[in-house]
Amino acid sequence: MTDLSIRPPKPSLLGRLGRGRPLGNFAGPIGVGLVGIAVLVAIFAPLLAPFDPNQQFAGLRLAAPGTAGHLLGTDELSRDILSRAIYGTRISLLVGFASVAMGASIGIVLGILAGMTKGVTDTLIMRACDILLAYPGILLGIIAVAVLGAGLTSVCIAVAFVNIPVFARLTRASVLRERELDYVKAAIVQGAGRWRIMTRHLLPNSIGSVVTQLSAAAGHAILLEASLSFVGLGVQPPTASWGSMLSKSREYLGIAPLYAIVPGLLLLILVLGLNFLSDAMQKALNPASKKR
């Protein structure tokens, strides 16, 4: 009897990344470099920060840069700005990566279910996603934090909640496209169950488009965390956060401009690096994008 098993036409995810050479274009090295530096800064924050981020220095309120060893000066509570900016990297990366991981995991599962089942299940999942996407992310984040309470865990859950419909719709679109290909039809003819088709065929071949969204989603998550912290609903004091630093620095722009410039610039660099990385991965995993 002829074996109808047809291997998925696409190479593995790692294979596509390798052949696409994401580091071989302009965006790749910059994105990897910026994100890599941010990760190293977050890991080695205790070694890089000259002072404890919450330590107060009597008589040095809003001190000028370079005063008493404070390279970027101090804030309104006499805390070292450089140290707090360095520790703020940890909060941004933690919220960005953890919330995207949670949101993507749930969204992928919902997207595969919607794409495979169709019917009532598909309609309910997609209409729920449409409702969530109809509201701005910051509004959903505020509602979620208001229900769960302010804090790091609540912010991660709130940002993950915002990412669920994005990954659900993206995964569903990929599944609907893949399920019409010959290798899926061959698996059905051989009697493969729905679970096997979903895990062995559809998921591996639909994950490419989801992976390219991860970096971009992490950038959006970091901006959302900063926005929530800016309005006082994110990470609570005295924990260092770029969003809270930007919020507090508004009253002292004329006296201590670095208080606002430093966290704002770091936020810009990190999000820019994630967007560059997403663009490089898109070119590596989607051959059609290289022709544009």
* Integer angstrom CA distances of residue 2 from 77, 96, 182: 76, 49, 16
Q: Is residue 222 part of a domain?
A: yes
Q: Is residue 12 part of a domain?
A: no
Domain with residue 40: its CATH number is 1.10.3720.10
Run of H or E residues at 153: helix 152-178
- Segments forming the whole domain that contains residue 63: 22-291
Neighbours of 275 (CB within 10 A): 18
CA distance 13 to 208: 7
Please give the average per-residue pLDDT across 109-128, as a whole number: 86
**pLDDT tens-digit readout, 38-51:** 999 999 999 999 99
Q: How many domains does the chain have?
A: 1
pLDDT at 223 over 80: yes
CA distance 104 to 99: 8
AA letter at 133: L
pLDDT of residue 236: 85
Residue 127 in tokens: 């209409």
CB-based contact 116:203 (threshold 8 Å): no
AA letter at 85: A
Q: What is the mean pLDDT of the chain?
A: 82
CB-based contact 154:144 (threshold 8 Å): yes
Q: Is residue 105 part of a domain?
A: yes
Which of residues 115 and 251 earns the better pLDDT score?
251
Partner residues linked to 74 by β-bridges: 80
Q: Is residue 42 part of a domain?
A: yes
pLDDT at 283 over 80: no
pLDDT of residue 8: 47
Mean pLDDT is lowest, of 10-19, 21-30, 150-159, 267-276, for: 10-19
Q: Is residue 1 part of a domain?
A: no
DSSP state of 154: H
Q: Is residue 2 part of a domain?
A: no
Please give the average per-residue pLDDT across 139-153, as a whole number: 84
Q: Is residue 285 part of a domain?
A: yes
Crossing angle for the helix pair 258-285 and 242-249, to the nearest 10 degrees: 140
pLDDT at 13 over 70: no
**Nearest residue to 276 via CA among 83, 75, 25, 73:** 25
Residue 208 in tokens: 């490419």
Residue 191 pLDDT class (50, 70, 90 cuts): low
Site of tokens 């804090």? 151
Q: Is residue 227 part of a domain?
A: yes
CA distance 179 to 165: 21
Dihedral of CA 91/96/97/98: which sign? positive
Range ranked top by mean pLDDT from 15-24, 27-36, 226-235, 268-277: 268-277
